[in-house]
Amino acid sequence: MAEEGKRNLLLTLRFIGTNYHGWQYQENALSVQEVLIRAGEGVLGGPARLHGCSRTDSGVHALTYCANFHTDHPIPCQKLILALNAHLPPDIAVTDCREVPEEFHARYSTQEKEYRYRILNSSIRDPFLEGFCYRYPHRLDEQLLEETFSCLLGTHDFRGFSSVGWETTDTVRTLTGLRVERRGDVVDIFLKGDGFLYNMVRIIVGTMLRVSEGKLSAQDLLTLLETGDRSLAGPTAPAQGLALYQVYYPEEALMR
């Protein structure tokens, strides 16, 4: 709900998720949201109700993350960026700030999100990629994976690609983009859609690896999509390979 008479500020940030238990505030674990709230209190002199665009799992990174809050503090946006970064640890940085309409909400105004899962497709580890990818030694055929998993594009019930025990009444989502790109030994898997279930991207990646190993066929994938049977899918790929890549908002939602 909008807070009448206050500025609504949209922050764009990026973070390394290794040291955090996701974005969402937790009483017994350190989260990105908690650290950013503390920084905001140090700059603005009081607490701010911070709305994030998405929950992220423990250990997951964000190349782009958006959060908004209302404040009556007059600090200019560019000065706020510098001030927040002076209060933040090296693994979290605010990259942009802008005023948005009073009713804008970082989560509910979202049009689409895009995730990237990074795989080091090599038997040899790379110290510069440690903690930012999943090392998988068996050769991946990026074109085959992209073609096989194109059946996921469109609107489907993705309950078979979500973690068992996660309670939600709506498991229908729309995927608008799926691509697999290779640069040397690095394979990036991009998934774009209107929303994602808990662990959905990581389970899709784990299923891709099973297909690549010949343990699942294209027909098995279709059966999984039709039945929603989680046991037919691959394992949940490790968190460190996943990053929230981009957040998309309708232009009119950002216009003041």
Distances, alpha carbon 116 to alpha carbons 79, 132, 196, 200, 239, in Å: 31, 11, 13, 12, 11
Output DSSP code: residue 124.
S
Could you tell me if 99 and 7 are in contact, meaning their C-beta atoms sit under 8 angstroms apart?
yes
Q: H-helix or E-strand containing 98?
A: strand 92-100
Could you tell me if 15 and 33 are in contact, meaning their C-beta atoms sit under 8 angstroms apart?
no
End-to-end CA distance of the chain: 17
Could you tell me if 244 and 63 are in contact, meaning their C-beta atoms sit under 8 angstroms apart?
yes
Catalytic entry in 57, 72, 170, 188: 57
Q: How far apart are CA 13 and CA 18, in angstroms?
A: 16
Tokens of 103: 């009713």
* β 7-15/51-52 pair status: unpaired
57: annotated active-site residue? yes
Output DSSP code: residue 37.
H
Helix axes 218-227, 200-212, angle to 10 degrees: 150
Looking at the annotation, which residues are catalytic?
A: 57
